[in-house]
């Protein structure tokens, strides 16, 4: 779970500098780790899904972002 949070935080940093492609990759990696190590209802996993949706919206991928909800 700690590694998942690290990837998520890196994704947030990349989003903040406008590197959306890398942000999406990092956030997806965080999700993969989280999905394999946390229960499906864990708040950290939900937070990671939320961050991925935010990044996707910033890139104009609103349809994919809405599918995460």
User: What pLDDT tens digit does each residue of the chain (69 aa) get?
Assistant: 799 999 999 999 999 999 999 999 999 999 999 999 999 999 999 999 999 999 999 999 999 999 987
Q: Are 11 and 51 in contact (CB under 8 A)?
A: yes
Nearest to 65 by CA among 35, 34, 27, 33: 27
- Can you give the pLDDT at residue 60? 94
Entry pTM: 0.91
Structure tokens at 53: 């949706």
Q: What is the 3-state secondary structure (H, E, C) of 2-66?
A: HHHHHHHHHHHHHHHCCCHHHHHHHHHHHHHHHHHHCCCCCHHHHHHHHHHHHHHHHCCCHHHHH
């Amino acid at each position: 779970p700690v590694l998942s949070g690290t990837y998520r935080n890196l994704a947030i940093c990349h989003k903040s500098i406008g590197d959306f492609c890398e942000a999406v990759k990092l956030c997806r990696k965080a999700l993969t780790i989280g999905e394999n190590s946390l229960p499906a209802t864990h708040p950290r996993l939900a937070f990671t899904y939320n961050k991925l949706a935010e990044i996707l919206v910033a890139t104009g991928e609103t349809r994919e972002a809405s599918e995460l909800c």
